[in-house]
Amino acid sequence: MAVGTGILRVPKEAKKGEIVKVQMVITHPMEPGTRKDPQTGQLIPAYHLTKLEVFFNDKTVSVIDMGGGVSANPFIGLTLKVEESGIVKISYEDNKGGKWEKTAEIRVV
C-alpha cells in the first residue's frame, strides 16, 4: 500500500451519549532517522508522521504528536463521545510534507 494510506474504523451506529472507540492504522515506514542501512552503513534519513488530528463534525477531538518511536504502520486507538450523528475526520502529516485525510460516518440511532 502506498505511504499515507489510512484505515479509519468507527462503529456505523451509536446511541446518543455513547463512548465509542475510534481506531486507525496508517501505512507509513516511520523511519526514526537513527537507523543505519546494514549494507552501506549510511544513516537512513528520518521519515515519519509528526502530527495526527482527530475531528468530529469539524470540532477538534484530539491532537497527537509523534516521532520515530511509534511503530511502522502506526495503530492508534482513541475514544469519542457521540452526542449527534456526524463525520469523524482524521488528518495527518509527515516530516517530508505529506498530508492526508480520511473520514468515516457515525449515525446516532
If you ran DSSP here, which 8-state letter would residue 47 be given?
A: B
40 binds other proteins (CB under 8 A): no
Q: Given CA atoms 71, 74, 75, 80 in this order, what sign does their dihedral have?
A: positive
The one segment of 1-9, 56-64, 89-97, 98-106 that binds other proteins by CB under 8 A: 56-64
The correct pick among 1, 9, 16, 36 for binding other proteins (CB under 8 A) is 36
Residue in the block written with cell 528520518: 46
Nearer residue to other proteins within complex by CB, 17 or 97: 17
59 binds other proteins (CB under 8 A): yes
